[in-house]
Structure 1
């Protein structure tokens, strides 16, 4: 079992690994190295049970993940109290293509739809799903004002930003409760964002911790997954790494890698 970490100042405690669910709802236009078949309900239910038994309490979804939200609304029935649910708004995916809308009207519509799909009265965490124009989204659309209003109304417990640039991440860290940041052994450009969040008490979730299956190692005998897990979970300020998988064996391997990384961090400290 893994010890849960504080998610910034939100008051929530999250497992060091979170379960990413894009593969439960979408297999078009994804960046994984190998094609995959979306699991049926029995397989998906077994995966979620495996995650829960392994100590994972954070589950990540989005409207852009095909029908992931709708499926989770059914698969998590009767389990709502066991999960911290993170969803997103701003990106839509239809007919194999993404489209983006960050207006206040669309964000309200999207979040209300996520609540309905997920069969819940509230989202623990809602992130803006950036198209890469991070600073423009923050300034032009004043997205954090909209999210703060919905937080006050009880629709969400905490809000934040899943960005793609260091500049955008640093700006978002001034306003958000939580940021989702790309970080792995092959990409560390956003390390300053993690450091700023750590200083300001902003929670940090890591995406692409395993580079969407594209990790490589400089040394043939090194395990690239363990290397990246050591880096990500050893970084001060990181609350959790979101890892997407539909294979329970891979999930348990990731849990073992994460546990080893956390033991290494503890020994170093």
Structure 2
């Protein structure tokens, strides 16, 4: 059985319903675990070999873009490559020292040109605006005008937004973005209706975040603003008591298939440095949406928790 795909809105791109989030390749400079060249090479090629064709990254994901360029740029025609703009470049992706994101025309272009160099490619399939700035901020900085210029030059194919509340509704209404990357999971359904709103506007939709992280308690070394919501989700998942819903599957599979049950979601990105995890996610994605009774029971338990 091949990995299911979906048409990514008006882009016409045929996206695998499971994508790969390259943030896990960021390394210790960006609050990640050490990643060897061999690990990166093996997992990235395994991702493509498995039929996953959506790879999401960002200039501020530490070493991720360099790994993509080094290990799979020779397979560029096999995948949809999405990166981001607005990211501060001076600190090299270290979240402990970076200033706020900046959405000026100069920084948008600098982000793209750096990404192209790092990933050894001539174009990005999707350029996402990172960190969900307001429309007013983007208008003041001419962010979209620069993205259109880059599109005219062939350096990007489509424009996207890595967005969330409170600004996501105005991003959708603007009509400028072809793809939306937004948070969605069984433990965070706050953007559920906005997925459908984006599709109604003709855009593609990709979910991010919170598939694997709630499975274990977050490490104490994480900054408190990051650690607290992860700890809350872990506690809620534990309290829900989902074991009898698994039917031999893992909790990870249950949570992933929940996301894939949204009728208007085209793809979901999940990251890992372990080939076994990638293969398990692919196996789960091939099973498709959850049966209705399991889906409804999962919602009831998580709501009660």
Cα deviation code 1:200-249 (max 9, x no counterpart): 11001111041634552512414542332233111122111010110111
Q: Offset at 1:29?
A: 5.7
Partner of residue 33, structure 1 = none
What CA RMSD, in Å, does the superposition of the two structures yield over aligned residues? Answer: 2.2
Partner of residue 96, structure 1 = 96
Partner of residue 48, structure 1 = 44
Partner of residue 219, structure 1 = 241
Partner of residue 298, structure 2 = none
Q: Offset at 1:95?
A: 6.6
Contact 1:160 1:176 in 2 (8 A): yes
5+ residue gaps, structure 2, are: 216-233, 296-305
Deviation beyond 6 Å, 4+ runs, structure 1: none
Q: Offset at 1:136?
A: 4.2
Counterpart-to-counterpart distance in 2, 1:26 and 1:97: 15
Counterpart-to-counterpart distance in 1, 2:142 and 2:272: 34
The answer on 1:20 being equivalent to 2:42 is no
5+ residue gaps, structure 1, are: 31-35
For residue 207 of structure 2, give the secondary structure of its aligned residue in structure 1.
strand
- TM-score under structure 2 length normalisation: 0.78
2:266 to 239, 243, 246: 239
Counterpart-to-counterpart distance in 2, 1:253 and 1:137: 41
Counterpart-to-counterpart distance in 1, 2:204 and 2:289: 18
Q: Offset at 1:152?
A: 1.8
Q: Offset at 1:19?
A: 0.9
Q: Offset at 1:53?
A: 2.0
Contact 1:25 1:68 in 2 (8 A): yes
Task: Considering fraction of residues, name the structure with more strand.
Answer: 1
Partner of residue 259, structure 1 = 286
Counterpart-to-counterpart distance in 1, 2:193 and 2:135: 16
Which protein has the larger Cα radius of gyration, Structure 1 or Structure 2?
Answer: 2
Counterpart-to-counterpart distance in 2, 1:243 and 1:95: 21
Partner of residue 69, structure 1 = 65
Please give the residue correspondences for 1:132-151 in structure 2 after superposition, counting only pairs within 5 Å.
133-151=133-151
For residue 28 of structure 2, give the secondary structure of its aligned residue in structure 1.
coil
Partner of residue 178, structure 2 = 177
